[in-house]
Amino acid sequence: MMKKLFTERHGEGKPRVAETLDDATREGLLALVSARIDEEWFGLSFNEKCNDGYAYAGTDVTRLGRTMKGYGVIWPHDVDRDNPPMDGQIFDLLEFSYEVIAEAKDPSYHSYMSHSHYNYDRESGRLKFTQDVNRMFERNGMALEMKDGEVVRLAPAVLQEALASSTFRTGDPTLDEMLETSRSKMLNRSIAIRRESLEKLWDAWERLKTLEPGRDKRESAGRLLDKAAGEPTLRAKIEEEAIELTNIGNTFMIRHTETDKIPITDSAHIDYLFHRMFSMIRLLLKTSGRGT
């Protein structure tokens, strides 16, 4: 993996906020996969068998190409630069490559057949490929990363940290599932799926308000807020925020889809609303002994 370059070491690297590929990143990722094909890193899954009795003599590119075509995955050598592939096609290529890639090691030249034989390491190949992809995302300011073979979105730094460090052990399996579903959807590239993350988070909010003992939701929610802060002024402010969050869920197209609800279309607005609600839920879970 390439080390940090001068601009990054001196605080001049690009902020990781872009959610769509630019031309440089797209070209770089295509070149990366093309290079790994040429370097025989696909030869474990699509091996060219040696007629002299050896198993791995590089990559059978014909079989690889036909398989990729069968899966609807683009062939990186033949991309039309005047009609570049969509982001999703690039990500399909990366995820397909991760599944079948393995580092080609210890080449030995077989003079009789005029080719080389290789040993393969699947684990190191996937690791190095992931590092190369993520380094390219980082250098070009992409809010994306490859994780366990899948391209996922990087949430804003403060939200990313909260998502990674939270543990959902609320004592209510349904609430745990809601929160986990919301968290996973929030990291999806699709803005439509991230809107679903908001819906699931506001549903979790309504369920959370009923977990404490009480005659009704209002009393139960009040006891939850009591645990959040004993100091009266802060307690009042937290309650104001709780009421406002409930109003947001009813005003915007989060929990309801009536025509008078306001749609949320901007990615930054989704991040803001998610972070605001997630912070409240996290506070209430922690102070009531239901999570960290």
The pLDDT score that the predictor gives to residue 23 is 93
What does the pLDDT profile of the chain (292 residues) look like in tens digits? 677 888 877 777 787 778 899 999 999 999 999 999 999 999 888 987 756 556 666 788 999 999 999 999 999 988 888 889 999 999 999 999 999 999 988 556 544 444 466 788 999 999 999 999 999 999 999 989 999 999 998 877 666 666 766 667 888 999 999 998 998 888 888 889 999 999 999 999 999 999 999 889 999 999 999 999 999 999 999 999 999 999 999 999 998 889 999 999 998 899 999 999 999 998 999 898 887 6
Structure token digits, residue 142: 């992409």
Distance CA 132, CA 197 (A): 30
Give the separation between CA 30 and CA 42, rounded to whole angstroms: 15
pLDDT value of residue 52: 54
pLDDT at 216: 92
pTM of the entire structure? Answer: 0.69
What is the rounded end-to-end Cα distance, in angstroms, of the chain?
34
At 155 the pLDDT is 75
Cα angle 159, 162, 163 (rounded to 5 degrees) comes to 85
**Strand, coil or helix: what is 152?**
strand
- What is the distance between the alpha carbons of residues 209 and 162, in angstroms, rounded to a whole number? 21
Instruction: Give the pLDDT confidence score for residue 166 in this predicted structure.
Output: 67
- Please tell me what DSSP assigns to residue 14: P
Give the span between the Cα atoms of 38 and 25, in whole angstroms: 20
Amino acid at 263: P
Number of H helices, E strands in the chain: 11, 4
User: What confidence score (pLDDT) does residue 106 get?
Assistant: 59
